[in-house]
Amino acid sequence: MKKVLEIQNLTKKFGKLTAVENLSFHVEKGNIYGLLGPNGSGKSTTLGVILNVTNPSSGTWKWFDENPSVESLKRIGAIIERPNFYPYLSAERNLEIVAKIKEVDRSKIDEKLKLVGLLDRKKDKFSTFSLGMKQRLAIAGALLNDPEVLILDEPTNGLDPQGIIQIRELIQRIAATGTTIILASHLLDEVEKVCSHVVILEKGKTLYCGPVDEMVSNHGFLELASDNITLLQQELNNLAYFSHTKEENGLIKAFLNEEVNPKEINKLLFEKGIILHHIAKRKDSLEQQFLQMTKNDRA
C-alpha cells in the first residue's frame, strides 16, 4: 500500500506540558482513518503540526513520501476545529480566495458548492450561515483542489442531528471516490460508522494504529436466551468454545475463544434438549474496545 502520510517520533511541548509525545503512525492510501482519543489527547496538535501551523519540538513527517512543503499542502484539503472564513465575504468570494491560494481554477467553486448543497446560497455572506452550512462550506473549500487526502477535525462538533447526518453522508460520498480521509473525533460511534482504520491516541501517545476489526484480538461473543437460563449457562460453560459466560438482563453472554458459527452452537444445545429463543453473534462496539484498550494501558 502506498503511504500518504508517515509521522515519525513527533513531539510537541507547550512549555511544561507535553501535548504529543514521540508519536509515530502512518496512513495508507484509500482508507478512512479515525483519529481517536479523549479531549486533550493531542489530536488537534498533531494535525496542526502536519498542516504547518504548529511548530514541532522534534520529529519528522512526510506527505506522499516527500518532505513537507507548501506544495504538498496543495494536494491536501483540511478543516481544523471550526470553519474559518471571512465573515463579510459571500460563500463564493471566500472560495475564490481558497482557489487562489491553492492555485486551482475558479470553475471548481460552483462544482463543490453544488456537492455540499450550497449553490443557491453562494451570493450570501458567510456570517449569515448556520453552523451546519458553515461546516459544509468548509468542506467545499477543502475539496476545491480535489485533494488526495481530506483531513477533518471534529466535523460534526456542535451540529444538530440533521446536520450531523448531512456531514456523515457527505464524508461517505467523498470516501466512495477513493479519497483518503483522516477524521479526528472523540465521538466513537461516529468513527465506527465511517472509518475502516483507527489511530488511537492517549496523552499524546499512540495506543493502536490499524484496521478497526483487528483492534482487539477477540472473536466477539454470543448472546443467547432460553426458558431455563441456569441450565443454559451450565451447558455453555462445559463447551470449549467459550472462555467465560455471564448473565445480563435475562440474556447469557458467552465470550468466544475461537471463530464459530452460531448454527453449530444451536445444534449442540438442541441435542442437549435446550431450545433457544434467541441467539446472536456480536462484537464489542468500538466504544467498548476503546475503553478496554485505554484501561489496559493504565493498568
Binding residues for other proteins, rule: CB under 8 A, are 14, 48, 51-55, 70-71, 73-74, 76, 78-82, 84-89, 93, 96-98, 100-103, 141
Residue (98 or 215) nearer to other proteins, CB: 98
3-class SS of residue 274:
coil
In the complex with other proteins, the residue whose CB is nearer, 122 or 253, is 122
In the complex, least distance from residue 99 CB atom to other proteins, rounded to whole angstroms? 9
DSSP lists the bridge partners of residue 225 as 278
Q: What's the closest the beta carbon of residue 202 comes to other proteins, in angstroms?
A: 22
Helical H runs in the chain?
Answer: 43-50, 70-73, 91-102, 107-115, 131-143, 161-176, 188-194, 229-238, 262-271, 286-298
Nearer of residues 71 and 247 to other proteins, judged by Cβ: 71
Asked whether 11 and 22 are in contact (CB, 8 A), the reply is yes
Shortest Å, Cβ 196 to other proteins = 24
Q: What's the N-to-C CA distance of the chain in angstroms?
A: 34
Which grid coordinates are listed for 130? 448556520
DSSP H or E run through 248: strand 242-248
Residue placing its CB nearer to other proteins in the complex, 118 or 232: 118
**Which one, 53 or 291, has the nearer CB to other proteins?**
53
Cβ proximity to other proteins: between 158 and 210 the closer is 158
- Minimum distance from residue 206 beta carbon to other proteins (Å): 22
Question: Considering the complex, what minimum distance in angstroms separates the CB of residue 190 from other proteins?
Answer: 22
Minimum distance between the CB of residue 64 and other proteins, rounded to whole angstroms? 14
CB of 145 to other proteins, least distance (A): 8
Q: What is the three-class DSSP state of 136?
A: helix
Least spacing, CB of residue 173 vs other proteins, in Å = 22
Q: Which residues does 284 contact at the CB level (< 8 Å), separation at least 6?
A: 216, 218, 220, 221, 292
Separation of alpha carbons 239 and 244, rounded Å: 10
Question: How many degrees, rounded to 5, is the angle at CA 78 between CA 188 and CA 207?
Answer: 40
Between 124 and 223, name the residue whose CB sits nearer to other proteins: 124
Find, among 80, 8, 22, the residue nearest to 203 by Cα. 22
Q: 159 is written with which cell numbers?
A: 451540529
Q: Which is nearer to other proteins, 52 or 296 (CB)?
A: 52
At 133, list the grid cell.
452550512
Residue 177 burial (C-beta neighbours within 10 Å; 0-12, 13-18, 19+) = exposed
